[in-house]
Amino acid sequence: LILTYHTKPNCLPTYFQPLPVINILVLISDFQLLLSMLKQQPYYIQRRQGIQSMKPLNISENNDNEEETLSFLPSAPVAHIKVPKRRRKTSSFSQCILKYALLTFAICSIIGVKYFSLTSSVHSRPVTRKWNDLDLNDIENWCLQPNTTSCKCANPLHPAHRHGHKTWTQAHNDNVRFAKNNMPKKSPFRELDVVFFGDSITEGWRGTSFGQAVKKKQENTQVFEGLFDMDSGGDYDGLALGIAGDKSPNLLWRLQHGEMPKSLKSKVFWLLIGKMNLIYQHLQQCILLVLPQSFIRRFNSAGTNDFLKENNCSEEVVIMGIERVIEEMMSLRPSSTIVVNGLLPRATGRENGELYKKNEKNLMDAIDTVNRQLEEFCSSRDDLVYFDATELFVEEDLKIGKGRYAKVIPQELMEDRLHPTALGYKKWGQEIVKELKKILDGQLTIER
């Protein structure tokens, strides 16, 4: 643990992050200092108690006997001094061993508390079971595939962070900073028109992944600025706040922890989240460096953070998670318009980009179901707008045939059949601008 802390601190869970470790070291140092002060008391004194039982003598004025005159004074108390034996001086190596032994004990204690608290909360008994009209008891199937009960899905109603996973914490802190300093560069009095919230697809607008610049995504930044930065010639001012791999509970946690501060004012908030709830997530390798397999398995059953292996959760779980995020955004910004972007398409086969397979339920079938229910949910609310971008990324491959089973995602729009390329972002962004013109008609700023 100490080696990993000094080499790769981001691979440690949140309770191994630098601040708690430093606090533990300080407490241990204070404890050692207190012990050394107590051990260095050199002696104790025992005084004779005869003073209290003494009786003064009556002295006559004519008595010149000095010895008799002073006899009323008590004799000097005897001080018994105990001199400690000289102790051998402890070597610096022994002190170092003692310090790290105490540190190891403290860390193991923290692990134990965290370990047993997590193992008591599996997805069958989550922390939050109900939120307004959303109730976990309404979920009939947690797993995407029918007749399957082996999947472990995060509680869609309970916020969850991902501290310790790659540079997620740094990316979140960057988003908090962007949200607080959100004014356009040249016009500090100009309000934002749209703020995008989501996962890796939303973060891709900034050309980053987990807050780290990605070379092949830098062209995406130019596309975003050309559409959503008026200082660069865009039609509107926008801000993208996304983190790769995030699921609905992760975005919910981010909204509650600084990514939607009171100072972040926008006419429209654009939401795209939920696809990662449908996609299998592997355990992070850096966690395996410091934690035993039995510990990992217990964390998996607890359903927390990125210790969780989500294996194709059902449409019900995904929809409930998205609706929970929508309600959170509406409560924080009741006067703004919330646009719910339908999940973008995801190809089953990356080689040819096929979306559907005969006689088999796959991810695209689930995405279609989620999008239909999201559209119904938004149509029942006046303050919500649904936006479907599926057809922007889908074409028919005549080599395969015609109809539903001939639909594919072209590689020039999504190279990995999951994340848009710069061309895909441009095509999608242009349609977003058209939608914003409908929503913001009559709400243009004085400067504009």
At residue 92, does pLDDT exceed 60?
A: yes
- More confidently predicted of 289 and 68: 68
At residue 12, does pLDDT exceed 80?
A: no
Please report the pLDDT score of residue 179 as a whole number: 94
Tens-place pLDDT, residues 327-351: 999 999 999 999 999 999 998 765 6
Query: How large is the average pLDDT for residues 294-301?
Result: 43
For every residue of 356-398, DSSP letters joined together read -BTTB--HHHHHHHHHHHHHHHHHT-TTEEEE--GGGG-EE-T
8 Å CB contact between 176 and 249: no
Rg (CA), the chain: 34
Distance CA 281, CA 312 (A): 9
Provide the residue range defining the domain that includes 172. Answer: 157-280+309-445
Range in 221-225, 390-394, 395-399 the model is least confident about: 395-399
8 Å CB contact between 398 and 406: yes
At residue 153, does pLDDT exceed 50?
A: yes
Calculate the alpha carbon distances from 190 to 187, 252, 445 in Å: 5, 27, 8
* φ, ψ dihedrals at 113, nearest 5°: -65, -45
Query: How large is the average pLDDT for residues 148-164?
Result: 87
Which of 416, 420, 438 is CA-nearest to residue 429?
420
Distance CA 432, CA 424 (A): 12
Most confident listed range (64-78, 149-163, 175-189): 149-163
Query: How large is the average pLDDT for residues 280-291?
Result: 36
8 Å CB contact between 183 and 229: no
At residue 353, does pLDDT exceed 90?
A: no
Q: Which helix (H) or strand (E) holds 200?
A: helix 200-203
Please report the pLDDT score of residue 148 as a whole number: 74
At residue 43, does pLDDT exceed 80?
A: no
68 pLDDT tier (thresholds 50, 70, 90): very low
Distance CA 42, CA 39 (A): 8
Query: How large is the average pLDDT for residues 381-393?
Result: 94
Does 146 reside within a domain? no
8 Å CB contact between 430 and 374: no
Structure tokens at 235: 């039609």
Q: Which helix (H) or strand (E) holds 329?
A: helix 315-332
Contact partners, residue 329, CB within 8 Å, separation at least 6:
197, 255, 260, 269, 271, 338
Does 326 reside within a domain? yes
Distance CA 277, CA 151 (A): 11
Distance CA 438, CA 446 (A): 18
- More confidently predicted of 88 and 236: 236
How far apart, in Å, do the first and last CA atoms of the chain sit?
Answer: 56
User: What does the buried/exposed string (b/e) look like for 184-223 if buried means 16 or more CB atoms within 10 Å of the residue's CB?
Assistant: beeeeebebbbbbbbbbbbbbbbbbbbbeeeeebeebbeb
Does 165 reside within a domain? yes
Please report the pLDDT score of residue 101 as a whole number: 78
pLDDT > 90 fraction of the chain, expressed in percent and rounded: 44
Distance CA 87, CA 333 (A): 69
Please report the pLDDT score of residue 267 as a whole number: 93
Please report the pLDDT score of residue 423 as a whole number: 97
118 pLDDT tier (thresholds 50, 70, 90): very low
Other C-beta atoms closer than 10 Å to the C-beta of 243 total 30
Query: How large is the average pLDDT for residues 81-101?
Result: 65
User: Angle CA(70)–CA(71)–CA(72) in degrees, nearest 5?
Assistant: 90
At residue 306, does pLDDT exceed 50?
A: no
Please list the alpha-helical segments (H only) found in 40-145: 66-69, 92-118
82 pLDDT tier (thresholds 50, 70, 90): low
CATH code assigned at 409: 3.40.50.1110
Please report the pLDDT score of residue 37 as a whole number: 57
119 pLDDT tier (thresholds 50, 70, 90): very low
Residue 251: HSE in the Cβ half-sphere, 13 Å Cα cutoff: 34
8 Å CB contact between 220 and 204: yes
Does 242 reside within a domain? yes
The mean pLDDT value of the chain amounts to 76
Which of 426, 417, 435 is CA-nearest to residue 221?
426
Query: How large is the average pLDDT for residues 378-404?
Result: 91
At residue 45, does pLDDT exceed 90?
A: no
Contact partners, residue 271, CB within 8 Å, separation at least 6:
197, 198, 322, 325, 326, 329, 338, 339, 340, 341
Query: For the CA atoms of 330, 178, 241, 206, what is the dihedral angle to 10 degrees?
Result: 150
Does 337 reside within a domain? yes
Does this model's pTM top 0.85? My answer is no
What is the sign, positive or negative, of the torsion defined by CA atoms of 29, 30, 32, 37? Answer: positive
User: What does the buried/exposed string (b/e) look like for 336-346 if buried means 16 or more CB atoms within 10 Å of the residue's CB?
Assistant: bbbbbbbbbbb
Please report the pLDDT score of residue 301 as a whole number: 40
Structure tokens at 143: 């797993």
* φ, ψ dihedrals at 146, nearest 5°: -65, 150
Does 265 reside within a domain? yes
Please state the domain count of the chain. Answer: 1
Does 290 reside within a domain? no
Does 120 reside within a domain? no
Contact partners, residue 366, CB within 8 Å, separation at least 6:
144, 278, 312, 314, 315, 318
